[in-house]
Structures are given as structure tokens and as C-alpha cells.
Amino acid sequence: MIRPVCLGLACGALVLSAGFLESRAQTPPAHTLTTQSSLQPQTQSPIDLNQTLLKQTYRLPVFPNQSSTASTSALEQAVHAQINEYRTSRNLPPLTLDSRLSAQARAHSQNMASRRVPFSHQGFDQRVRTVGRAIPYRQTAENVAFNRGVADPVRQAVQGWIDSPGHYANLTGSYDLTGVGVSRNSRGEYYFTQMFLRRR
């Protein structure tokens, strides 16, 4: 039996300050998009060859309950665990899961899954403003992904982020909080949103 496989990542850059400044670097191929929001523009240091090789050879741990019938809550926990496992392997501190960020991320994944919004970062500035009312922050970022027809949707999404320079910069950035939202629609598509935040 042949199963169709669909994968997607989304990226761009949005810098928030007193007003909105949209900065679009060269758009990566294959629907790759990264979104960052900060009080100051971001600079990205080049990744050396050794780190690139480490990224490519890192094997994500397998967590239970990641089948296509797993609850979205379990999938969200698995994303958080895999991202922290990866950060720890790079001598980075783990991210604390924040329910307020997760609520925003989950709503966005649900909106993409139901096609109320396209697969994108649409509404990112509103999500940041909503979270910013409760959590003073210096910098935020967001990664999104979707897939269908894969045995392990979480592993596929996280590995896609690790392999994408823009997403990698977000998941290894100097953030301390994260929120994860996953939604699955009737077509068997999984939509993932992970928000990152560095508190003031």
C-alpha cells in the first residue's frame, strides 16, 4: 500500500518594536518559514561545519503514544520533550512549558487545521500581544509545521525544524519559555505551532 506523505515548514521574520517592521530575508525553498519578534533586530551567527554535521547526525528519542491516534495533548508533550532533549544535547538550558503560550500555539494550530487561516504565521503579532499582556518579554519566535501520512508526526516535525536553519535558530535561541500546540484534522493532517519567549 502506498501512502501519500505531505510535509511542510513555514518561515519569515517579523520584528516588533514601537511599530511593526517586516524584514524578509531570502525566502527559503519548500515552504520554509521562521518568525521572530523582538525589541531589537536579530543577528544570526553562521553555523560552523562541525555543528552542521552534529545537527544532521542527531537522532531524536522515540517517545510513546506518538501514533496517528495519539491525543494532541500527548503530542504536545512529546514536542516539548524532544525539543528539550535536543537543547540539552547542545548544552542549552531546557525550555519551561507555559500554558499561556501553549493556549496561543494550540489555537493557531487548530485554525490552520480547520483552514480558518492558511498554513502560515498569520496572526503572530496578535498572539505575541496577547501573551505580552501577561508576560513581559524581550524576544519571541514561532515555528510551525504540518505533515500527513507519516508514522511519527512529532519526530517528523521536530527533525524538520532541526534541519532548517531558521527554525533551528529559534529552537536553539536564548529563550526560557515555550508553548506547543498540535491539531489534527479529519484529513489526517497534523499542524504544529511552537512559540518561544524570553522574559525580561
Higher pLDDT among residues 10 and 32, named by residue: 10
Which secondary structure element, helix H or strand E, spans residue 192, and what is its range? strand 189-199
Q: What angle do CA 31, 37, 42 make, to 5 degrees?
A: 90
Task: Classify residue 176 by burial, with Cβ atoms within 10 Å: 0-12, 13-18, 19+.
Answer: middle
Distance, in Å, from the CA atom of 56 to the CA atom of 164, rounded to the nearest integer, reads: 11
Q: What is the DSSP string of 146-164?
A: EEES-S-HHHHHHHHHHHS
Question: Which DSSP letter does residue 26 get?
Answer: P
Q: Which residues contact 51 (CB under 8 A, 6 or more apart)?
A: none
Residue 69 pLDDT level (bands cut at 50, 70, 90): very low
The model's pTM: 0.71
- Mean of pLDDT values over 57-61: 44
- Condensed to tens digits (0 to 9), the pLDDT of residues 139-152 reads 999 999 999 999 99
- Mean of pLDDT values over 116-133: 96
Which secondary structure element, helix H or strand E, spans residue 107, and what is its range? helix 99-113
The length of the chain is 200
CA atoms within 13 A on the CB side of 39: 8
